[in-house]
Amino acid sequence: MATDQEIREAGYKYIPLQKYLLNPFEIPTVEETDVVNEGIVNTDAFNNDKNFSVYNADPNKIVNMNPNTYALQDARKKNELSYVGKTLPGDTSPLYSTKTAAMKHMGMYPEYYGLDKPPPSKIEELLAKGIGFIPGIGTLTRFANFASGMLPVNRRAIMENQLGTQGVMVNDIGQIVIGPGGSYNTPEGIMAGYNPYHMTDETFTNRQAKIGETLQEKYGLTQQQVDGLISGELTEEDFTGKQYNLKGTNKQTNLITNLINIEKARKNFSDATGTTDKIFDIKTDTKTNNQNQGDGGGTYIGGGASLQDAGGTYDGGYHGAEGGFENTGSNQNVGGGASYDNAAETGAKDGFGYGLKYGGLVSIL
């Protein structure tokens, strides 16, 4: 409860003393905002439904509310299956002669390939059969896991899915929004209004710099204190006292927690971007393989049309599982070396992949 003195300092000079009021008077609080020159941020200001905005999003327009948390594993599995019938340059024996052989191999590493994930829901099974609309229910993709097993080789769609796994909601026009139950001043909501497809690391650091300047000019923080908040060495609990409160209130300025949450969001965005790149490269390789069925080679994620052109690094996870090193038909090793003896890692002969504990797309992991 605000004191009579705080009420007067806040400019409310005609409010009776608290002891004479039936209900205690609380000073309205207005959070500070950090204005950043990032161009025009679309906040749905002209939306016909005034109840919805990027800060209170229409749930029906959120595209990644139920993300596929196994997107990376699904991509690895599909990529491995794309090598059925494929051969390495100079070989005559396929990496996998049948789909069963590939599945048998992947079964030895269920977590890596997502084989340990829960069975598909009834909705996912319908989607897999091409049934995407049911009268009385509508479009099933709204209720199913976002792009479950159906993600195109589209970096934006993949990125939005990965953000969804972190609780960051994106609407149908590509904006970060605050979904049901969410809050703005959180790592998930602090970038509301921004388009993640156009964001870079500087999007976050520029905002932090502007907030840091305000905290120094208005609240007397030093650059060292600002840096400490960003690094995590300092927290909002380290700043108590009236000098850090919003004018006329006993509430600490929200710019301190804004600064902290932007840094958390920056790190989460970096993680999502890294995983997005992995999935994109894997799915691109898979698409190439599927478009070149029967050509005996395909392409290699290392960048070349042959194993040698790719830099001598084997491209796919655990290929040659059936016969191990002897039956791969090649003296290349996933550790990156040109032979078993100079593989980049341990060189342990496990019958599946040399120099890599879990195999799989070495050049992008």
Tokens representing residue 139 in the block: 């479009």
pLDDT score, position 344: 36
pLDDT score, position 13: 58
Burial class (CB in 10 A: 0-12, 13-18, 19+), 41: middle
Instruction: Tell me the pLDDT tens digit for each residue of 57-97.
Output: 999 999 998 899 999 999 999 999 999 998 878 888 888 99
Cα gap 302→333, rounded to integer Å = 13
Q: Which helix (H) or strand (E) holds 176?
A: strand 176-177
| Beta partners for residue 352, in sequence order | none
Tokens representing residue 72 in the block: 């990376």
Burial class (CB in 10 A: 0-12, 13-18, 19+), 129: exposed
pLDDT score, position 267: 97
| 159: number of Cβ within 10 Å | 24
pLDDT score, position 328: 38
Res. 214 pLDDT band, cuts 50 70 90: very high
Tally of CA atoms within 13 A in the half-sphere of 294 that contains its CB: 0
For residue 55, is pLDDT > 50?
yes
Smallest Cα–Cα separation from 177: which of 162, 167, 192?
192
pLDDT score, position 176: 97
For residue 47, is pLDDT > 80?
no
Pairing of strands 176-177, 138-139: unpaired
Cα gap 281→363, rounded to integer Å = 10
Q: What is residue 138's three-state secondary structure?
A: strand
Q: For residues 320 and 226, which has the higher predicted lDDT (pLDDT)?
A: 226
pLDDT score, position 50: 57
Contacts (Cβ under 8 Å, ≥6 apart) of 158: 71, 151, 276, 279, 280, 283
pLDDT score, position 135: 53
Q: What is the pTM of this model?
A: 0.66
Instruction: Tell me the pLDDT tens digit for each residue of 146-155.
Output: 444 444 579 9
Cα gap 221→241, rounded to integer Å = 13
pLDDT score, position 247: 82
pLDDT score, position 288: 84
Cα gap 352→95, rounded to integer Å = 12
Q: For residues 242 and 351, which has the higher predicted lDDT (pLDDT)?
A: 242
pLDDT score, position 126: 63
Cα gap 349→278, rounded to integer Å = 27
Contacts (Cβ under 8 Å, ≥6 apart) of 79: 282, 283, 285, 286, 289, 316, 317, 361
Res. 308 pLDDT band, cuts 50 70 90: very low
Q: Are 134 and 53 in contact (CB under 8 A)?
A: no
For residue 116, is pLDDT > 70?
yes
pLDDT score, position 103: 95
Q: For residues 225 and 132, which has the higher predicted lDDT (pLDDT)?
A: 225
Pairing of strands 133-134, 138-139: antiparallel
Query: Would the CA dihedral through 254, 255, 256, 258 be positive or negative?
Result: positive
Q: For residues 198 and 29, which has the higher predicted lDDT (pLDDT)?
A: 198
Res. 128 pLDDT band, cuts 50 70 90: low
